[in-house]
Amino acid sequence: MVNWHLLPNERKIHQASVSRKLFFTYYFVVALFFVAAVGINFIDYPIPKLYPSLALLAGGFIALFAVERKRSMEVMLITDERVLILRQPEGLRGPMTMESIQFDKLSNVQVVQTRKQRIIGTGDVVFRLPGEEHTVTDIARPYEIERAIYRILDIEKRAGTLKV
Of the two residues 142 and 50, the one the predictor is more confident about is: 142
The Cα-based distances of 32 to 25, 57, 94 in angstroms read 11, 10, 30
Of the two residues 154 and 94, the one the predictor is more confident about is: 154
Give the mean pLDDT of 131-137: 87
pLDDT of residue 22: 61
pLDDT of residue 18: 67
Give the mean pLDDT of 83-110: 79
Query: At residue 94, does pLDDT exceed 60?
Result: yes
Residues 6, 79 contacting (CB under 8 angstroms): yes
Q: Phi and psi for 8 in degrees, rounded to 5?
A: -60, 140
pLDDT of residue 32: 76
3-state secondary structure the chain: CCHHHCCCCCCEEEEEEECHHHHHHHHHHHHHHHHHHHHHHHCCCCCCCHHHHHHHHHHHHHHHHHHHHHCCEEEEEEECCEEEEEEEHHHHCCCCEEEEEECCCCCEEEEECCHHHHHHCEEEEEEEECCEEEEEEEEECHHHHHHHHHHHHHHHHHHCCCCC
pLDDT band at 137 (very low <50, low <70, confident <90, very high): confident
Cβ neighbours of residue 45 under 8 Å, at least 6 residues apart? 52
Average pLDDT, the chain: 76
- 100-123 pLDDT, tens digit each: 888 888 888 999 999 988 888 888
- 22-74 pLDDT, tens digit each: 666 667 777 777 777 777 666 666 666 667 777 777 777 777 776 665 556 77
Cβ neighbours of residue 129 under 8 Å, at least 6 residues apart? 101, 105, 106, 107
